[in-house]
Copies of this chain bind each other. A is one copy, B any other.
């Protein structure tokens, strides 16, 4: 379990007046992919929060290659590509009928319930870290 596919359809309000998905929404889609990745890994984010563990985005990057359009079925692949004692990096590839639409990554830092930096709990680190895929981040390899 390292790669996780979710499908999603851009909603009407996610599309801007150019007829394509408004660029900040890609980060929202990435969060949907990350949420489902974590649920499938037995490490649901809602459960982490209930234990007082938070993951805050500290770095985000997106490369926009082709536009995503309203109501088209998109496929989003999410992977964990780096893990440290207190942070984890997810990488993303978004594809549509016309091929690769965007790549990106987000690095998340672990916080405690007072929003102070903290170590990842060992069980979470273990589940997040299984099967790291070596090689460059997708966003660095067009």
Chain A interface residues toward B at CB < 8 A: 11-13, 15-20, 22-25, 27-28, 31-32, 35, 44-46, 54, 56-64, 67, 70-71, 106, 115
A109 — nearest CB in chain B belongs to which residue?
B64
Q: Say yes or no: B23 contacts A71, CB within 8 Å.
A: no
Given A24-B27, A71-B44: A32 in contact with B58 (beta carbons within 8 A): no
**Which of B19, B24, B60, B71 lies in contact with A45, CB distance below 8 A?**
B71
Copies of this chain, complex-wide, total 4
Point out the residues of chain B lying under 8 angstroms from A19, CB to CB. 17
Q: Say yes or no: B17 contacts A24, CB within 8 Å.
A: no
Point out the residues of chain B lying under 8 angstroms from A46, CB to CB. 70-71
Given A12-B22, A15-B16, A16-B13: A58 in contact with B67 (beta carbons within 8 A): no
- List 16 additional A-B contacts (Cβ < 8 Å) besides A13-B25, A35-B71: A11-B28, A12-B22, A12-B31, A13-B16, A13-B28, A17-B17, A20-B56, A23-B27, A23-B56, A23-B60, A24-B28, A24-B31, A45-B71, A57-B64, A58-B64, A59-B64
